[in-house]
Every structure is written in C-alpha cells, then in structure tokens.
C-alpha cells in the first residue's frame, strides 16, 4: 500500500463531538479533506449551523445535542447510521475546562465537568462500539484527552484534570475490551492549542482577558517549540489514528504539545 492510500479515509463515516469550534472544527475539516463523511455534534446551535458554510467541501451533517445528556448518545449513532449508513470513526473531542481552585469548588462544578468530559465520552463510546460490533468490521475511537491527563498544567484545573486523567484510564481499559472486535481506542494529549475556548477568560476564573493573555503568554514561553499549537496540529494526528497508518495501535496516547511536558 502506498503512502497516500495508507492515510486515506475515503468513504469512512465519522462522528466528531464538539465540532462546531476550536480543535473539533479543525478535526472535522481535516477528516472531510481526507475523504470521510462527518456527523458534527455540538450543543452550540449557532456555530453548529454555520459549519457546512465554513467547510464548503465534503459531506457533513450537523446534530445539535449536549453529549452529557443520556438521550444524546443513541441519537448521535442513529443520525450517523441514517445519514451515512454506518459509523467507522468516533472522535470524542467535546470538553470544558472551567478554572476553579479545589478549595472554592462545589459539587455541581465537578459533576458538570465529569458529565461532559467523562460520562458523555464513556457512554457515547459505548453506543458507538455496539454499532461497530453489529457492523462487524472494527472501527476507531479517538479520545481527545490532555497533557493534564499526565501532568497538571496550572492551578485551578482540579476538576478538569480529574476528568482528563480518567479519560486516559478509560481509553486503556476500553482498548482492552474492544481489541477482540478490532475496534482501536486511542487518545491524544494536546498541549496549549489556540482556540475559541482558550482565547476567552476561563469560566468562573475571575480573570480578565488581559490577565488570561498574560497567563497564556507565560505558558507559551515554556513551550520548547516556541509556539502554541493550532487545531490542525491535533487534527492531523486524528487523521493518522483514523487511518490504516495506525493499524497496530490501541490503548496508546499520542502527546502533541510542542514538547511542553519536557520543559
């Protein structure tokens, strides 16, 4: 098989959560460009409605739902099967990162973060895996974790770090359970990626936009490659994990952080 066809995913059907903005939109763009049909799932109806216009090429459908809610998981699978006939790839990207020190945290905040970042990811993965098993030809589940799954990046992300640590543990366990079905389950750990979410002050942080910029600038100085990432830095690795180029990988974490974990 030549290099081009190893990375080709023409005709594959994918679900990408949180695909309206940020890293998720970058992933949708790259998968579409590589030949996949994509069901874009997001709860931000305004930006979601605009996805087909921003992409211009390829076959995408959109589905507005909150992935932390139980009624969404089956709905996402059914929509993908009804529009594209199957599900080959799931990218669990939707995530939130409110910044609240643990000493100021109340239970609803932890429940909210775990609801989106962990519960939504786990049960959408289950719903998709059941469909992939029925289809009988394997599949790919790609979880967008974080460098915070491995090492805390800053104070105030206790809830987030708990969720992302769990995403990494879940990825390994589910990879083991799914291996007999040839469903490969891998994770990506992004470092600092400039997105809509990171450019505004983190929710509940009490920080101004200027203070937020100062924090991001000082973080950027610690990145050995000397720049923040862009969504396509993550999207290209998603394409790799969605393609035959990664056929012998499961339960792996690919760190895409410009070297910041080394710093």
Ligand X SMILES: NC(=O)c1ccc[n+]([C@@H]2O[C@H](COP(=O)([O-])OP(=O)(O)OC[C@H]3O[C@@H](n4cnc5c(N)ncnc54)[C@H](O)[C@@H]3O)[C@@H](O)[C@H]2O)c1
Q: Is 96 in the site for ligand X (CB under 6 A)?
A: yes
Rounded Cα–Cα distance for residues 123 and 132 (Å): 14
Rounded Cα–Cα distance for residues 131 and 116 (Å): 22
Q: Could you count the other beta carbons within 10 Å of the beta carbon of residue 180?
A: 8
Whether 160 sits among the annotated catalytic residues: the reply is: yes
Q: Is 27 in the site for ligand X (CB under 6 A)?
A: no
Q: Is 135 in the site for ligand X (CB under 6 A)?
A: no
Catalytic residue (one of 160, 168, 170, 174): 160
Q: Which is nearer to ligand X, 8 or 79 (CB)?
A: 79
Nearest approach, Cβ of residue 225 and ligand X (Å): 14
Q: Which is nearer to ligand X, 10 or 218 (CB)?
A: 218
Rounded Cα–Cα distance for residues 123 and 129 (Å): 10
Phi-psi region of 91 (alpha: psi -120 to 50; beta: other; left: phi over 0): beta
Q: Is 24 in the site for ligand X (CB under 6 A)?
A: yes
How far CA 208 is from CA of 174, 202, 247, in Å, comes to: 40, 9, 45
Q: How many contiguous H segments (helices) and E segments (strands) does the chain have?
A: 11, 7
Near ligand X by CB under 6 A: residue from 58, 138, 152, 197: 197
Q: Is 35 in the site for ligand X (CB under 6 A)?
A: no
Single out the residue of 91, 230, 236 nearest to residue 171, CA to CA. 91
Nearest approach, Cβ of residue 248 and ligand X (Å): 25
Near ligand X by CB under 6 A: residue from 13, 77, 90, 116: 116
How far CA 47 is from CA of 13, 50, 63, 110, 193, in Å, comes to: 22, 5, 12, 26, 19
Footprint on residues 215-234 left by ligand X (CB under 6 A) = none
Single out the residue of 162, 136, 130, 132 nearest to residue 149, CA to CA. 162
Residue showing tokens 């469903």 = 183
Q: Is 159 in the site for ligand X (CB under 6 A)?
A: no
Q: Which is nearer to ligand X, 47 or 172 (CB)?
A: 47
Near ligand X by CB under 6 A: residue from 89, 144, 157, 260: 144
Q: Is 43 in the site for ligand X (CB under 6 A)?
A: yes
- Catalytic residue ranges: 160
Binding region for ligand X (CB under 6 A): 17-18, 20-24, 42-44, 66-68, 93-97, 116, 144, 146, 190, 192-193, 195-198
């Amino acid at each position: 098989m030549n290099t081009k066809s190893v990375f080709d995913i023409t005709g594959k059907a994918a679900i990408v959560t949180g695909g309206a903005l940020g890293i998720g939109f970058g992933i949708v763009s790259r998968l579409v460009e590589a030949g996949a049909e994509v069901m874009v799932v997001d709860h931000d109806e305004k930006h979601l409605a605009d996805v087909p216009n921003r992409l211009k090429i390829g076959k995408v459908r959109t589905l507005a739902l909150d992935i932390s809610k139980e009624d969404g998981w089956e709905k996402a699978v059914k929509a993908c099967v009804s529009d594209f006939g199957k599900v080959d790839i799931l990218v669990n990207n939707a995530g939130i990162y409110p910044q609240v020190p643990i000493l100021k945290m109340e239970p609803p905040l932890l429940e909210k973060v775990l609801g989106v970042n962990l519960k939504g990811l786990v049960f959408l993965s289950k719903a998709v895996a059941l469909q992939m098993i029925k289809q009988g030809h394997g599949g790919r589940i790609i979880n967008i974790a974080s460098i915070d799954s491995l090492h805390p990046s800053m104070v105030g992300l206790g809830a987030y770090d708990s969720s992302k640590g769990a995403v990494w543990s879940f990825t390994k366990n589910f990879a083991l359970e799914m291996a007999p079905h040839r469903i490969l389950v891998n994770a990506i750990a992004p470092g600092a990626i400039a997105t809509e979410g990171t450019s505004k002050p983190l929710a509940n942080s009490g920080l101004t936009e200027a203070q937020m910029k100062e924090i991001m600038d000082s973080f950027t100085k610690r990145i050995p490659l000397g720049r923040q990432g862009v969504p396509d830095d993550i999207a290209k690795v998603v394409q790799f994990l969605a393609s035959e180029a990664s056929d012998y990988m499961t339960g792996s974490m690919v760190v895409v952080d410009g070297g910041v974990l080394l710093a």
